[in-house]
A and B are shown apart, each in its own frame.
Chain A
Amino acid sequence: MRRFKVFTSLVKDSFDIITRGSKKYHLWMGLLTFIMLVGMYCYSIQLDQGLSVTGMTDRVSWGLYISNFTFLVGVAAAAVMLVMPTYVLKDIDFKQAVLIGEGLAVAALIMCLAFVVADMGGPSVLWHMIPGIGVFNFPNSMLTWDVIVLNGYLFLNISIPFYILFRHYQGKESKKSVYIPGALLSVFWAVGIHLVTAFLYQGLQARPFWNNALLGPRFLASAFAAGPALIILVLAIIRTYTEFKIKDKTLKKIAMVVTVAAQINLIMLISELFKEFYAPTHHSESAYYLFFGLDGKTALLPWIWTAISLNVLATVLLTFHKLRNNFRVLFFSCFILFVAIWIEKGFGLIVPGFIPGPYGKIAEYTPTGIEIGVTLGIWAMGAFIFTMLAKTAIGIETGTLRYKK
């Protein structure tokens, strides 16, 4: 009963704290709400007329939605890079950042699920996928594995920080014996969500561009670069605009993680490029389309070369200690690395899988305005959720939010 009372009070207090703030804060939330409404309007058109309002066709049957979904799974998985040092290796420097990282994972996972739902042709019959009342094709379909790991990871990332914050809210220390098992599990689970998502594509013998053993490991490397890079940027914003002080040392340690992951990612990229272009086969055509274009069709060329150059530039900048320890350079590199991997692991991965088609047909894909609207709406929703979570967490951690007996 007492717990329930504390919980109600926590909900009330956090509602108070997220509805109050500076002018800038209100402006930010207002902007996000506006984008979300636009996105919802676009989605209502899509619901009404069907997926024909998107740029997808029978030839390229997955597009922007699935691309963003794939990328965001990586962002969600990246929270492990903070969870592991804090809870398992007991590195005190990560302690403040870890809650933010988990909040980011929650927001990213909700965006993932939203992107999958947006991509469905029949969202009204999605209950067919609920185990128990529908038919869940487990373990044959990798998509069912993905449903399990994503929802499980979402649960872990909500419950662990919730427990810690709930204790701190009452002015108590959180008990290690309670959250350490969950944290340990989430370390393995994080690797799981990204590997399983890679297997979704990797297991298709029909698409040689994806049917490649390096896909899963490369997903992990790029995720552990892009995710922590985003966390660095978010922490930088938080420490400028809030009371929550994050030490330079924390940022520098996360930067180290980003650097190593980006380097590994680059090595794997070179390995992939070597395999595709040293002795090109029929199966290298998708890679040719992506990097050089086929038959004068070159829609992805500017994107992928931007991504590659940003990727290389960021990795080089991060590799030199002097440059990495300069925060301006660090934030810049993190930003371009994030953009580069968003392109590369998003539509740079999904779209070429379909081009050329099974019989060599080259039909290009360009997202429509409605598709982009829905995508932006979902990103805004993610940012909105993250802002609310972070504001509450910071309130509790800085001690402004406490249970009054």
Chain B
Amino acid sequence: MVTDRGPVARLLQVWLPVGFFLVLALFPFYWMAITSIKPDSELYNRHLMPLLVHNPTLEHYVNLLTQTNFLLWTWNTMLVAVVATAISLVFGTMLAYPLARMRFAGAGLIAMTVAAIYLVPQPLLFLPLADVINRLGLGNTLTSVMLTYPTMLVPFCAWLLLGYFKTVPKDLEEAARIDGASRVQTMRQIFLPLCTPGFISAGIFAFTLSQNEFLYALIFLTKSSVRTVPVGVITELIRGDVFYWGQLMAAALLGSIPVALIYSFFVDHYVAGLTSGSVKG
């Protein structure tokens, strides 16, 4: 489809549409960044040109980190995301491996059930789950979200890993079996090391989805000390009708950085997982 029709045609055909989508996608982040370093006198002055900053300041960041629990929320969010991701990868593998490799009655049914659970929307579950969490005495503990995030992540990881596992050739496992290895040995020592790229894809998705989760954290975590970043930002940085926009944008930017960093390291794995057609839109 590539035709060389000179720089003007190329500009119109390639850079105009691509540039349009880039500006659309990135402007909110530019706006976050520039707002977070503007002093209040510039933020709330309607006579200044808004797209530039005249006297950059770090006061919003300093206030955010010293006067709020933002660092604690960040720690909570990381801890929950790591634990929930680990649980989801282990359970996901325990579901996906038999489905990918073994023949047994009911395999089709289990695969269907796992896919269906993945499609159960969160709002359908939050009211009964809130009751369950309360009865277990887990309200206001990070355990509550470490346990409930995997309810969406386990089916998701299982589904993504199942697709990946099926692409791995069986020869090595069959050779190991003939040499007398047990099923568990074959799986752990031969099969799983071959699947690292699949685990990275599933892990990044699970991690980003954990960082993004809001509904369960909003309901289960009502004490400031156990909140995650999204819930903390919404419930504590927005105080009544007063908006501290500089601080809010600093929080939005800092809160996005962990995900963006991890994503930038593994972007190819991420895209590979995305295009396997199993991700939420």
Q: Report whether chain A binds chain B.
A: no
